[in-house]
């Protein structure tokens, strides 16, 4: 890195190059496998697992206390891969759609399919039939893996749907039931091959399929793995116990799962989140780490329930998915002085963590999401002029690096709008870097509502509201909520003569969307404020909602 600073005028404190106006990572660069070397994310991660963990518990089901060791996990990954080769026409380049809650079988399924060069596409099992149909239309899978409770949502596919909770799948994963298990026929996977399609709303509009390659995932895991080992000198993570309350189909849960395997950590899975059950699990399994979203940090800081449980094993909370307020972070730290909040920032489009805090000193920079991840570059671009800005100035964050997505599947227009010809990803977030290279998220240029770290696109809900014959017009805005971060609130213009109620509108939407997308508040208005071009003036509505709120207090 020294040589780079010598050849370019890069400020070693902020990472900013005055010549190119690019911010460079202040982390040590991480060596990546040569791009020409065939390597799947499965093979890469399994090569990192410490040899000492074969008898270590990999997974624990918090509801049943069932356990799976690393040696059995590795055996099942290989057995399932062999079974899939023998019993299905699946081959490299195919897409497999996965619609299931978190379970022991999901990590095995992910790693097996990825080792065969099959692109996996996990989706929210709570999604409605129309949402699932849209996702299937984007990713074009040939096969699906679902449970008996989710399979009915999936359209008919070329190779059908395999039920994860069926005796057939159980025999495939365990190599029983008379299967002639001859071992896996090795598939050569290029790093540039597609690995996963994750669903994101991107910057606007309906859900999009984000295509990440094996290379994207390898670069992501290599960065986290090497930095953890550089920071934690003994490099021993096999005594780490992570409680997973994150969905494994979401980018945050997905990459945290892969990272945990690479470190040889123990994962305690919770299929359904329940606050008290989470506290019980922390005490029972002596949980050391937990990836969380900001609303959970609020709950931990405010709840009286926490005093009933021994949470002394907790060392780290990895916080991502939405910005964490400075006041919340400070009140949490006052209550739990020994727990370090590791903040991170990323998008599905950046493969997850594009910036994060590392070590206690950085964690004390409340309000910051940390420094740029290794091998990552950034620009802060003035949205009006397109000019790249220096530290301390606000603009749209652009990112470039080896974890940035290949593009949106089946949507060249959205890809071209988000990724420029030089590989810069336009995040749609209003940010700035300080003079120490710490990144701060100020606001979103994009209009997504962040409900408990889930992305809710207002346009999708507005289109849905407008299909109701009693609604003349509608706009959806983010409304601040202490526990969820933001909730979707609708401003509705009734059709003349209509007496539709707020409860009826809430119910109308709830029947057609996943639970996190529900409208949770409705206000009636005579007209929706719009620009001359017809664009909803959302900020006006947000100001109106906030002033109404303060007048009620």
- Provide the CATH topology of domain 449-552: GMP Synthetase; Chain A, domain 3 (3.30.300)
Task: Give pLDDT, residue 252.
Answer: 86
DSSP state of 103: -
pLDDT digits (tens, 9 = 90+) for 338-374: 999 988 899 999 998 899 988 888 887 877 899 999 9
Identify whether the C-beta of residue 159 lies closer than 8 Å to the C-beta of residue 91: no
Domain boundaries, the chain: 41-441, 449-552
Give the Cα separation of 378 and 401 in Å (integer): 9
| Predicted pLDDT at 233 | 42
| Residue 66: count of CB within 10 angstroms of its CB | 11
Q: What's the pLDDT score for residue 360? A: 81
Please check whether residue 17 is in contact with residue 10, taking contact to mean a CB–CB distance below 8 angstroms. yes
The C-alpha atoms of residue 304 and residue 335 are separated, in whole angstroms, by 11
Same fold, 41-441 and 449-552: no
Identify the three-state secondary structure at position 220. Answer: helix
pLDDT tens, N- to C-terminus, the chain (553 residues): 444 445 668 999 999 999 999 999 999 889 999 999 999 999 999 999 988 888 899 999 999 999 999 999 999 999 999 999 999 999 999 999 999 999 999 999 999 999 999 999 999 998 899 999 999 999 999 999 999 999 999 999 999 999 999 999 999 999 875 555 567 889 999 999 999 999 985 445 578 999 999 999 999 999 988 887 766 644 455 589 999 988 899 888 899 899 999 999 999 999 888 899 999 999 999 999 998 877 788 788 878 899 999 999 999 999 876 667 677 788 888 999 999 998 889 999 999 889 998 888 888 787 789 999 999 999 999 988 999 999 999 899 999 999 999 999 999 999 999 999 999 999 998 899 999 999 998 766 767 788 987 878 787 898 789 889 899 889 999 999 988 999 999 999 998 899 999 999 999 999 999 999 999 999 999 989 875 545 678 878 988 988 887 665 5
What is the spatial distance between Cα 218 and Cα 43, in angstroms, rounded to a whole number?
Answer: 10
Q: Give the model's pLDDT for residue 423.
A: 96
Q: Which fold has domain 41-441?
A: Rossmann fold (3.40.50)
Q: Let me know: does 475 contact 458? Beta carbons within 8 Å.
A: yes
User: How far from chain centre, in Å, is Cα 482?
Assistant: 21
Nearest Cα residue to 109 out of 208, 254, 218, 12: 254
Q: Which helix (H) or strand (E) holds 28?
A: none
* Residue 175 burial (C-beta neighbours within 10 Å; 0-12, 13-18, 19+): middle
Res 530: pLDDT: 77
Q: What is the pLDDT of residue 455?
A: 75
Q: How far apart are CA 354 and CA 339, in angstroms?
A: 23
Structure tokens at 506: 């809430």
| 242 burial via Cβ count (<10 Å: 0-12, 13-18, 19+) | buried
Size of the chain, expressed as the number of residues it contains:
553
């Amino acid at each position: 890195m020294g040589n780079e600073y010598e050849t370019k005028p890069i400020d070693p404190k902020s990472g900013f190059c005055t010549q190119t106006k690019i911010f460079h990572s202040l982390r040590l660069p991480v060596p990546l496998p040569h791009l020409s070397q065939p390597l799947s994310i499965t093979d890469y991660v399994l090569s990192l697992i410490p040899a000492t963990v074969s008898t270590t518990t990999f997974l624990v089901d918090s509801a049943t206390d069932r356990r799976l060791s690393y040696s059995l996990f590795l055996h099942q990954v290989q057995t399932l891969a062999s079974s899939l080769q023998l019993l299905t026409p699946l081959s490299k380049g195919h897409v497999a759609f996965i619609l299931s809650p978190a379970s022991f079988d999901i990590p095995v399924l992910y790693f097996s399919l990825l080792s065969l060069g099959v692109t996996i596409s996990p989706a929210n099992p709570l999604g409605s039939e129309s949402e699932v149909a849209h996702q299937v239309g984007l990713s074009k899978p040939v096969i699906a893996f679902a449970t008996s409770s989710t399979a009915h949502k999936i359209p008919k596919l070329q190779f059908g749907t395999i039920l994860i909770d069926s005796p057939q799948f159980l025999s495939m994963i365990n190599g029983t039931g008379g299967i002639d298990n001859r071992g896996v026929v090795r598939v050569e996977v290029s790093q540039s091959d597609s690995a996963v399609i994750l669903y994101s709303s991107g910057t606007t509009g309906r859900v999009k399929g984000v295509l990440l390659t094996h290379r994207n995932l390898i670069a992501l895991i290599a960065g986290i793995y090497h930095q953890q080992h550089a920071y934690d000198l003994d490099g021993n993570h096999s005594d780490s116990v992570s409680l997973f309350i994150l969905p494994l189909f979401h980018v945050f849960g997905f990459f945290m799962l892969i990272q945990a395997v690479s470190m040889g950590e123990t994962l305690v899975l919770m299929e359904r989140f329940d606050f008290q059950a989470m506290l019980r699990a922390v005490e029972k399994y002596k949980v050391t780490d937990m990836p969380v979203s900001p609303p959970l940090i609020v709950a931990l800081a405010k709840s009286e329930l926490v005093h009933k449980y021994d949470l002394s094993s907790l060392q780290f909370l990895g916080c991502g998915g939405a910005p964490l307020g400075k006041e919340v972070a400070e009140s949490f730290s006052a209550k739990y002085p020994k727990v370090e909040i590791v903040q991170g920032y990323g998008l599905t489009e950046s493969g997850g963590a594009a910036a994060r805090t590392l070590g206690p000193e950085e964690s004390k920079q409340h309000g910051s999401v940390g420094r740029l991840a290794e091998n990552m570059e950034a620009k802060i671009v003035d949205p009006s002029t397109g000019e790249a800005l220096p530290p301390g100035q606000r603009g749209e964050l652009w990112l470039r690096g080896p974890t940035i997505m290949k593009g949106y599947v089946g949507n060249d227009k959205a890809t071209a709008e988000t990724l420029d010809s030089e590989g810069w990803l336009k995040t749609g977030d209003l940010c700035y870097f300080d003079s120490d290279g710490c990144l701060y998220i100020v606001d979103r240029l994009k209009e997504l509502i962040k409900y408990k770290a889930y992305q809710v696109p207002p346009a999708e809900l507005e289109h849905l509201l407008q299909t109701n014959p009693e609604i003349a017009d509608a706009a959806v805005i983010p409304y601040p909520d202490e526990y969820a971060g933001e909730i979707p609130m609708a401003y509705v213009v009734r059709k003349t003569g209509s007496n539709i109620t707020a409860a009826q509108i809430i119910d109308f939407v709830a029947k057609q969307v996943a639970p996190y997308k529900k409208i949770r508040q409705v206000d009636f208005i005579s007209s929706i404020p719009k620009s001359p071009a017809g664009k909803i003036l959302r900020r006006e509505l947000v100001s109106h909602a906030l002033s109404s709120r303060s007048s009620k207090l």
